[in-house]
Chains A and B, each alone.
Chain A
Amino acid sequence: MRIIVCAKQVPDTSEVKIDPKTNRIIRDGVPSILNPDDANALEEALLIKDSQPDTEVIVVSMGPPQAKDMLIECLAMGADKCYLLSDRAVGGSDTWATSNAVTSLIEKVVEECGPFDMIFAGRQAIDGDTAQVGPQIAEKMHLPQVTYVQKFEISEDKKVVTVQRQLEDGYEVIEVPTPCMLTCIKELNNPRYMTVSGIVKACKADAPIYVKSAKDCGCDLSKVGLEASPTVVFRSFTPAPKAPGQIIQGEDERTQSQNLLAKLKEKHAI
């Protein structure tokens, strides 16, 4: 079995701040991490590899050369190979242009490694929160897709995947033939840690991290990059900070209500 996992290096948004004047992300000193939902996608592929050791797990990503750092983490967790599309020509891509570029990269991976059974992607990246790239890749590759996957089973002949798709108030069960695209959510699993020996191997000069240019992947340059992107970010903003809520204490309901009334009066709310 061969599984392709789409991963993105993102700034750790728990440490990101936005400059209120320029509305730009202050990236200085903010660590970059493997996008959390993508870690769930990779974990699911690795769980399949654990039970079926002949499974090959290939991570694909697009980003600046520093994204290799995240791919080292993917290898150290147990991925077999990583491909990074890194090229100025694809810089500034929106989701449409990104999915064009990543589709070309996946086609390159298929050319070099052979056909795949499934593509896993995270539901969405924590920096853009669009949840569009995975589904767009599936559309462009004419693959059936299921988003918000919280659980799935693969048939013995590996031809059909039965998927639980998360809904707001429950889930639906969907069957899809392989090859297919599944986008994963955090409820699917708990991503494993790297291992020390995995780190040692992943940091060697000959570690299987392959960096490709747009040309290598045969990208149509009129469909990738900033210029080709039909959407632009108009404005980013930080929601105004709210004061934390307060839980009114009291021995019983009566005292709690009295305390609540006292507070409301104190604030001149009533």
Chain B
Amino acid sequence: MNFQLSKEQEKVRELVRKFALAEVEPIAADIDKEHRFPKENVEKMAKLGMMGIPFPAEYGGAGSDHISYAIAVEELSRVCASTGVIVSAHTSLCCWPIFNFGTEEQKQKYLPDLLSGRKLGAFGLTEPNAGTDASGQQTKAVDMGDHWLLNGAKVFITNGGYADTFVVFAMTDKSKGNHGITAFIVEKGFKGFSIGKTEDKLGIHASSTTELIFEDCIVPKENLLGEVGQGFKIAMATLDGGRIGIASQALGIAQGALDVTVDYMKSRKQFGKSLNKFQALAFEVAEMKTRIEAARLLVYSAAFKKDQHMPYSVDAAMAKYYAAETAMYVTTKAVQLHGGYGYTTDYPVERMMRDAKITEIYEGTTEVQKMVISGAVFK
């Protein structure tokens, strides 16, 4: 067993940390206040190869691995969780299913633009009545002979307003339940496809979360992803990987909150001494730090197993469940340790606390992760 990162992984952390401190952190509070998608930083990340980290160079990827990818999302989220999830949703939820389930033609057509970051990706599974229960899909796809016709709507789609390429799920045979779901690659600009309302959320304000609307949307035959009826399997496999991304985001949020809390406690004085000199408060930090390290091991272990082509879905579920709870725990404590200042927007911890909450919800709630984990235990 070797707990050391490779030189490559260390250097990716060095790069993303440097980028995050110079380009992301300075605008993080503003884009949160303005609910503004940081398009300029997505373009900069694209140039640095951060939009295609774990994919091979032959399709335009950076040729690194999922641990490096997890580190990148972690380091971005350490200063801005919205920027972290832009990369995560793009990489895990759009690029990966096309890479893993796409035909060679589809890969050649879509991956170079996506992995180089010239285009942004998104994933459309959730519907008003189909969240955790994906079989409740009401979006329908009908085979029209020379094309597919999609009708329906998706909600809570990350990157929705800015994405160019969408992996979308629709029911092709309702009678088959989960086995009647099929995946498609939909491009912005396809006739009958539009973006609906943008959600006003508790946190991750700079991430674009929208509805997708399909009204007699024409999808070419060659844009079927995988096989007819394989959609549920594609969605679940994709979300397994996505959970590593969200777990990394949660880990980064927690680490970021700890960083600023440690600095604050060293400089803030009460009763004539700095806060870190109060043992009761210092012990809170010990608890935060330990949980973060435990979460980090779970996240990197899941990413390692994915890289080694070992089964990792339970590992990803545990990583996401624990990292998300850690993010919520650590950010809540961080606000508390900042006292009144922590409740104001003058300090970043209130934003981190609002951002942390979503990690317990999207890409499978904590309850879903526990279903996956307990299901494997009692198999």
Contact = CB atoms under 8 A, between A and B. Distances in A.
Contacts of B15: 76, 193-196, 199
B11 A203 contact: yes
Contacts of A69: 7
A52 interface: no
A199 B8 contact: yes
Interface string B9-44: 001101100110000000000000000000000000
A211 to B, nearest CB: 15
B49 A203 contact: no
Contacts of A195: 15, 47-49, 62
B62 A200 contact: yes
B62 A196 contact: yes
Interface in A194-220: 194-203
A94 interface: no
Contacts of A73: 11, 14
A199 B18 contact: no
B128 interface: no
B50 interface: yes
B365 interface: no
Question: What is the interface residue range for chain A against chain B?
Answer: 10 to 19
B6 interface: yes
A72 interface: yes
B68 interface: yes
Is chain A's interface secondary structure helix, strand, loop, or mixed overall? Answer: helix
A197 B7 CA distance: 13
A199 B19 contact: no
Given A200-B62, A203-B6, A193 B48 contact: yes
A66 to B, nearest CB: 11
Interface string B40-70: 0000000111100100010001111000100
Contacts of A76: 11, 15
B227 to A, nearest CB: 33
Given A195-B49, A196-B49, A197-B62, A72 B18 contact: no
B18 to A, nearest CB: 7
A197 B11 contact: no
A158 B208 CA distance: 50
A193 B64 contact: no
Nearest to B23: A193
Interface residues of B, number: 21
B60 to A, nearest CB: 9
Contacts of B12: 196, 199
Contacts of B53: 196
B74 to A, nearest CB: 15
B7 A196 contact: no
A197 B49 contact: yes
B136 to A, nearest CB: 39
A202 B15 CA distance: 13
Given A199-B12, A200-B63, A193 B7 contact: no
Nearest to B44: A193
A194 B62 CA distance: 12
B11 A199 contact: yes
A193 B68 contact: no
B19 to A, nearest CB: 6
Interface string B126-170: 000000000000000000000000000000000000000000000
Contacts of B49: 195-198
A200 B15 CA distance: 12
Given A195-B48, A195-B49, A200 B8 contact: yes
Given A72-B7, A72-B11, A196 B18 contact: no
Contact of B18 (A193, A197, A198): A193
Nearest to A190: B22
A253 to B, nearest CB: 30
A196 B48 CA distance: 6
B64 to A, nearest CB: 5
Contact of B63 (A72, A193, A194, A197): A197
Nearest to B52: A196
B87 to A, nearest CB: 11
Interface in A103-142: none
Interface centre among A72, A200, A201, A203 (most CB of B within 10 A): A200
Interface in B286-331: none
Interface in A62-84: 69, 72-73, 76
Contacts of A198: 49
A232 B156 CA distance: 66
Nearest to A204: B8
Contacts of A202: 11
Contacts of A72: 7, 11
Interface of B: 6-8, 11-12, 14-15, 18-19, 47-50, 53, 57, 61-64, 68, 72
17 contacts: A72-B7, A72-B11, A73-B11, A76-B11, A193-B15, A194-B14, A194-B48, A195-B47, A196-B48, A196-B64, A197-B61, A197-B62, A197-B64, A199-B8, A199-B11, A199-B64, A203-B8
- The 6 A-B residue pairs whose C-beta atoms are closest, nearest first, are A196-B49, A196-B62, A203-B8, A197-B62, A199-B11, A200-B63
